Amino acid sequence: MDVSGLLYSLVNSYGLIGILVASLIANATLFLVVPIDAVIILVSSTGIFNPFLIALFAAVGAALGETTGYFIGKGGRHVVEKRFHDQLDKVEDLSKKVSNHGFAFIALMSFVPLFFDLISVIAGMLDYDLKKFLPAVFVGRFIRYSILAFAGKTVIEFFFGLI
């Protein structure tokens, strides 16, 4: 079974808790693209769950899952610097943005589908307050997942309305 099949199976078997767990797994992976966005769209298109609840549970799972990168950064600065030695300028630039703009920058970057793993690692390296990190990730992902969930539901309703 591939990763997307596993995620969809979790959601199919466990409902909203499955969405939370699938999102946690998808967001706990570092530097691998796991198709949680597609799962959110597919689940919302079934009409079984309210899109708001799908986004809510997925965002909670995402915030919890992103702590993987946060704690790796918190405990392994030298490992991160070694791994990204050729990109230290980019890491330092992102570090300045996290330091200067904190919550807003983290929320904005968590909305963007790519590159957030590095931001979560940097937040841990900078010892950014976890009590601020989790809500920032939640806000960005909740907005993104809300858009995806409502889009999935709307597209299906539109096409079924044409039939």
What is the band of 162 on the pLDDT scale with cuts at 50, 70, 90? low
Phi and psi at residue 128, in whole multiples of 5°? -60, 140
Neighbours of 33 (CB within 10 A): 12
d(CA 61, CA 44): 16
Q: The domain containing residue 61 runs over which residues?
A: 3-162
Domain count, the chain: 1
Q: Which residue has the higher pLDDT, 118 or 137?
A: 137
Q: Which residue has the tokens 């907005």?
A: 143
Reported pTM: 0.83
Structure tokens at 79: 């490992």
Q: What is the pLDDT of residues 45-71, one digit of tens each?
A: 888 899 999 999 999 999 999 999 999
d(CA 106, CA 97): 9
